[in-house]
A and B are shown apart, each in its own frame.
Chain A
Amino acid sequence: MTKINRRGAETPRGMGFKTRNGRGTPASNSDSFSASPRLRGKAVLREIPLHLLLALGAVTMILPFLWMLSTSLKPESQIFRFPPVWIPGNWEWRNYRAAMEAAPFGRYFLNTAIFATAATISNLLFCSMAAYAFARLRFRGRDVLFILVLGTMMIPGQVTMVPVFIMLKHWPLAGGNDLLGAGGHGLLNSFTGLVLPGAVGAFGIFLLRQFFMTLPRELEDAARIDGCSEAGIYWRIILPLSRPALATLGIFTFTAAWNEFLWPLLIMSKDSMKTLQVGLQVFQTQYVTRWDLLMAGTVVVTIPVLIIFLAGQRYFTKGIALSGIKG
């Protein structure tokens, strides 16, 4: 854990948002097995077994995904074939339509997109606001408060799960509830209830605060002299300068929400409000042996996150690297 220093006195080591070679690939200079330069010629030969090992690992990682794709395109007759067939005889794209018709995946998709987007926006906003106060403003008890906020990361979600559920159910004046929170279903089966409990997070505040502290102060000092308000500095100077950190947190929050299972399972019991993960799980219990449809549904659930990952890969690894170094 970082030491909490006086304002601005700290430059976190290894923030690592600026990559050494621009692409976020690991720099090869800290090779723990590296040979001395004069062995370069042999090095190429030596690389082959290492590549074989790495490739073996890569195949293990990718095989289940290929199996998922292959099954999703098979006619039912080829599913239950032993030994299994890898390339379907004729590609059964109908499986996808059949899966979409068997359960309202379109609706689940929309719900998940709304949930993930709302969670991302609220986390970016609330975390960055709090992080700005912790990184740039002075007030009494700031460091103690920051430690307390970090301390909430230790509390497992299962402890607060039951009371939060009850609280949402009895939310006054929502979902048919009266002023005392009785009578209706409250914020259950609502996006507010799904998003609100996770609308801010200690990790996000921590990540952004660390980044804000590395930003040069000259710009904001100049802006202050020109009479810019604190809100103006936060919005017009700090946030635009922090795009890499915001992108990291944004991508993290979005994928975490997209893949979230337990909380939507509790909150969204109505079929029209289910998210993809919950919908897929329920779908599985109803179509236990229809592996063609199940795998088609799984592909649909998986693809968006994979696209986001491949597009924003460097932000993923940077964010994770940061969380690791700071531990």
Chain B
Amino acid sequence: MSPNTRMIAKPSESRIAWLFLSPGLALFFLFVLIPVVAAFYLSFCRYDIIHSPSWIGAQNYARIWKDLANHGVFYLSLRNTAQYAVATIPIGMVLALALALLVNAGLRGVTLYRTTYYLPVVTSLVAVSLVWMWLYDPNYGLLNYGLELVSRGLSLLTGRQVLLPPQTWLADPGQAMLAIAVMSIWKGLGYNMVIYLAGLQGIPEHLYEAAVIDGATPWQRFRAITWPLLKPTTAFILVVSVIGASQVFGQVYVMTNGGPNNATTVIVHQIFQNAFSFMKMGYASAMAFVLFGLIFLLSLINLRLLRGGQVDYV
């Protein structure tokens, strides 16, 4: 800071600062701080919004524990959320990195590709969920038509009758979660790609030039330069993806509403249902804190895992 500024800094500077901060801080206080404390209190209460909350100690948490032990609905929602995360995150990240490398390879017309990949990201979740429900339609959907085309093509190629039977997709308890995951990978790909692109552009060019002079193959260049220097980017995408997957809700609510037979119910869907359909606001708050703890823990683990082996060539 220049001495000049210090000299003319008015004594009321901090008062002005608090004035500038006051609307924002008031909103945070009212809609984040108080609600967090209130939610924690409610998680120890029975509360149906009509009668005032009554303290029941840790019963809500005990109920969650019992549900987990007996493989109840909340257990299912945890399992489904985990399934969703495992199905979306690794594939989504690998595809995003591959696309980012391709887009970054200096070809002509990449702007058009990048725009196209980003379209699903800006489109609303409700809209894309509806479109994909139609794609997944068991009788008239485009995907089953695709399966038919592939079987016909394979039959022609092999000279034998190959039949990929039409699927029921979202109506099949064994496939529904996977179907939602595929749609979600499609929707989120552009976002991760753009972050990877930003990371790629932060890698100094001279490293690649030096590697080429040393005769490194493209794969060696990727292993020794791109991948290690992208580690912070990968860490960021992983943390954000895990948080996002733990909170998956919109596509589930629109496409299956947790069905068939609870095969796609997820944590936030359970919180939503318990709070606003069954009016069990205390139980829902306890679930929300379990989710909070889970996200916190997973983020810590992710950051710890990816902190090791940080490379800096610059």
Which residues from chain A sit less than 8 Å from chain B, CB to CB? 6-9, 14, 16, 23, 25-34, 36, 47, 50-51, 53-55, 57-58, 60-65, 67-68, 71, 79-84, 125-127, 129-130, 132-134, 137-140, 142, 145, 149, 152, 154-167, 169, 196-200, 202, 205, 217, 221, 224-225, 230-231, 234, 255, 258-259, 261-262, 266, 276-278, 280-281, 284, 291, 294-295, 298, 301-302, 305-306, 308-310, 313, 316-317, 320-325, 327
Closest chain A residue to B285, Cβ basis: A162
Report how far A26 CA is from B99 CA in the complex, Å.
Answer: 13
Which residues of A are found within 8 Å of B190, using beta-carbon distances?
Answer: 61
Q: A250 to nearest B CB, angstroms?
A: 14
Q: Are A258 and B232 in contact (CB under 8 A)?
A: no
Q: Is B295 an interface residue (CB 8 A)?
A: yes
Q: How far, in angstroms, from A246 to B288 measured CA to CA in the complex?
A: 33
Q: Does B5 contact A (CB under 8 A)?
A: yes
Which of B59-67, B86-94, B236-244 binds A?
B236-244
A69 to chain B, nearest CB (A): 10
B116 neighbours in A (Cβ, 8 Å):
58, 61-62
The 6 A-B pairs at the shortest CB distance, nearest first, are namely A28-B106, A327-B236, A139-B14, A321-B198, A324-B195, A259-B124
Q: Can you give 9 A-B contacts (C-beta < 8 A)?
A: A57-B99, A61-B120, A83-B145, A142-B17, A161-B271, A163-B42, A280-B126, A291-B137, A313-B118
With A and B bound together, what is the CA distance between A327 and B237 in angstroms? 9
Within the complex, what minimum Cβ distance (angstroms) separates A269 from chain B? 10
In the complex, the answer to whether B247 meets A156 with C-beta atoms within 8 Å is: yes
Across the two chains, which residue of chain A brings its CB closest to B128?
A64
Contact A68 B288 (CB under 8 A): no
A261-B288 contact, Cβ under 8 Å, with A132-B20, A161-B275: no
Q: Does A158 contact B107, Cβ atoms closer than 8 Å?
A: no
- Chain A residues with Cβ below 8 Å from B102 are 50, 53-54
Contacts of B75 in A (CB 8 A): none
B197 nearest in chain A by CB position: A26
| Residue B212 interfacial (CB < 8 Å) | yes
Do residues A261 and B113 form an inter-chain contact, with CB atoms below 8 A? no
- If A62-B119, A64-B131 touch, whether A130 touches B8 (CB-CB below 8 Å) is no
**Do residues A80 and B140 form an inter-chain contact, with CB atoms below 8 A?**
yes
Flag if B35 contacts A313 (CB, 8 Å): no
Give the most central of B2, B113, B126, B221: most A CB within 10 Å. B126
**Contact of A140 with B32 at beta-carbon distance under 8 Å, contacts A129-B24, A133-B20, A280-B127 already known:** no
- Give the docked Cα–Cα distance between A160 and B31 (Å): 8
Q: Is the Cβ of A34 less than 8 Å from the Cβ of B106?
A: yes
Give 10 A-B pairs besides A80-B139, A133-B16, A200-B24 with Cβ atoms closer than 8 angstroms.
A6-B1, A30-B208, A64-B186, A139-B13, A162-B288, A163-B34, A163-B42, A259-B126, A291-B134, A295-B131
Chain B residue, CB-CB nearest to A53:
B102
Query: Is the pair A129, B20 in contact by a Cβ cutoff of 8 Å?
Result: yes
Q: Would you call A302 and B127 a contact (CB within 8 A)?
A: yes
A169 to B49, CA, bound (A): 10
Please measure, in the bound complex, the distance between the C-alpha atom of A68 and the C-alpha atom of B291, giving whole angstroms. 35
* Cross-chain contact B199 with A305 (CB below 8 angstroms): no
Name the distance in Å between B299's Cβ and chain A's nearest Cβ: 8
Residue numbers in B under 8 Å from A295 (CB-CB): 130-131, 134
When distances are taken between beta carbons in the complex, the residues of chain A under 8 Å from B122 are 255, 259, 305-306, 308-309, 316
Q: How far is the CA of A306 from the CA of B122 in the complex (A)?
A: 7
Residues of B within 8 A of A27 (CB): 201
Question: How far is the CB of A270 from the nearest CB of chain B, in Å?
Answer: 15
Q: Is the interface of A mostly helix, strand, loop or mixed?
A: helix
Is the pair B203, A30 in contact by a Cβ cutoff of 8 Å?
yes
User: Quick check: is B154 within 8 A (CB to CB) of the other chain?
Assistant: no
Distance A259 CA – B126 CA, assembled complex (angstroms): 8
Chain A hits for B55, CB < 8 A: none
- A145: which B residues are within 8 A, CB to CB? 21
B79 at the interface (CB under 8 A from A): no
Q: Is the CB of A64 within 8 A of B135?
A: yes
Cβ contact within 8 Å between B145 and A298: no
Q: Which residue, of B25, B186, B221, has the highest number of chain A Cβ atoms within 10 A?
A: B25
Is there an interface contact between A324 and B198, defined as CB atoms closer than 8 Å? yes
Interface residues of B (CB under 8 A from A): 1-2, 4-5, 8-9, 13-14, 16-18, 20-21, 23-25, 27-28, 30-32, 34-36, 38-39, 42, 49, 99, 101-120, 122-128, 130-135, 137, 139-140, 142, 145, 148, 186, 189-191, 194-195, 197-205, 208, 212, 218, 221-222, 225-226, 232-233, 235-237, 239-240, 243, 246-247, 249-250, 253-254, 268, 271-272, 275-276, 281, 284-285, 288-289, 291-292, 295-296, 299
B119-A306 in contact (CB<8A): yes
* Chain B residues within 8 Å of A32, by CB: 101, 104-105, 200, 203, 208, 218, 221-222, 225-226
Q: Are B194 and A67 in contact (CB under 8 A)?
A: no
Given A67-B135, A139-B17, also A25-B42 (CB < 8 A) = no
User: CB distance B35 to A160 under 8 Å?
Assistant: yes
A82 in contact with B124 (CB, 8 Å) = no
Query: Given the known A-B contacts A138-B14, A217-B5, A306-B123, are A163 and B186 also in contact in the complex, defined by CB atoms under 8 Å?
Result: no
Contacts of A317 in B (CB 8 A): 114, 118, 194, 197
Task: Tell me how far the C-beta of A321 lies from the nearest C-beta in chain B, rounded to whole angstroms.
Answer: 3
How far, in whole Å, are A139 and B103 apart by their CA atoms in the complex? 46
Closest chain B residue to A251 by CB distance? B122
Per the bound structure, the CA–CA distance linking A33 and B217 in Å amounts to: 9
The complex places the Cα of A217 from the Cα of B1 at a distance, in Å, of: 9
Contacts of A134 in B (CB 8 A): 21
User: In the complex, A295→B126 CA distance in Å?
Assistant: 12
Complex Cα spacing A40 to B17, Å:
57
CB atoms of B126 and A301 under 8 A apart: yes
* Bound: A316/B195 CA distance, A: 11
Contact B233 A324 (CB under 8 A): yes
Give complex CA distance A104, B292 in Å: 38
